[in-house]
Amino acid sequence: MKNLIVIFACLLFLFGCESSDKQVDTSSVEEWSQLFNGKDMDGWTPKLAGYKVGDNFNNTFRVTDGNLQANYSEYDTFRNEFGHLFYQEKFSHYRLRAEYRAVGKQINGGAGWAVANNGLMLHCQSVESMTLDQGFPLSIEFQLLAGNGKDERPTGNLCTPGSHVTLKGELFEPHCVNSNSKTYHGEQWVTAEAIVYGDSIIHHVIEGDTVMTYSKPVIGGGEKGLDTLKFPAGKRMLDGYISIQAESQGFDFRKIEILDLCGCMDKKAKNYKEYFVCSKGESCVYE
- Burial code of 185-200, b = ≥16 C-beta within 10 A, e = fewer? beeeebebbbbbebbe
The confidence score (pLDDT) of residue 24 equals 83
Provide the residue ranges of all domains of the chain, joining segments of one domain with +. Answer: 33-261
Kindly indicate the confidence band of residue 8, based on its pLDDT and cuts at 50, 70 and 90: very low
Q: What is the mean pLDDT of residues 206-212?
A: 98
The confidence score (pLDDT) of residue 13 equals 44
The confidence score (pLDDT) of residue 53 equals 98
Where does 33-261 sit in CATH, by number?
A: 2.60.120.560
Kindly indicate the confidence band of residue 255, based on its pLDDT and cuts at 50, 70 and 90: very high
Residue 214's nearest CA partner among 231, 196, 233 is: 196
Average pLDDT, the chain: 93
Q: Count other Cβ atoms within 10 Å, centred on residue 174.
A: 10
Measured distance CA(35)–CA(96) in Å, rounded = 10
The confidence score (pLDDT) of residue 281 equals 81
Q: Torsion over CA of 67, 94, 280 and 91, rounded to 10 degrees?
A: -60
Residue 71 clears pLDDT 70, i.e. is over it: yes
Give how far Cα 98 sits from Cα of 44, 156, 191, 254, Å.
15, 12, 6, 8
Q: Count other Cβ atoms within 10 Å, centred on residue 248.
A: 24
The confidence score (pLDDT) of residue 10 equals 45
Q: What is the mean pLDDT of residues 136-163?
A: 97
Measured distance CA(71)–CA(250) in Å, rounded = 5
Residue 18 clears pLDDT 60, i.e. is over it: no
The confidence score (pLDDT) of residue 6 equals 44
Residue 127 clears pLDDT 60, i.e. is over it: yes
Kindly indicate the confidence band of residue 17, based on its pLDDT and cuts at 50, 70 and 90: very low
Residue 265 clears pLDDT 60, i.e. is over it: yes
- Write out the DSSP string of 144-192: EE-B-SSS--B-SEEE-TTEEEEETTEEE-SSEE--SPPB-BTT--EEE
Q: pLDDT tens-digit profile of 33-52?
A: 999 999 999 999 999 999 99
Helices (H), 22-167: none
Strand, coil or helix: 68: strand
Residue 271 clears pLDDT 80, i.e. is over it: yes
Give the whole-number percent of the chain exceeding pLDDT 70: 92
Q: pLDDT tens-digit profile of 218-243?
A: 999 889 999 999 999 999 999 999 99
- Burial code of 133-148, b = ≥16 C-beta within 10 A, e = fewer? ebbbbbbbbbbbbbbe
pTM of full prediction above 0.75: yes
The confidence score (pLDDT) of residue 118 equals 98
Residue 78's nearest CA partner among 116, 51, 111, 112 is: 111
The confidence score (pLDDT) of residue 25 equals 87
The confidence score (pLDDT) of residue 222 equals 85
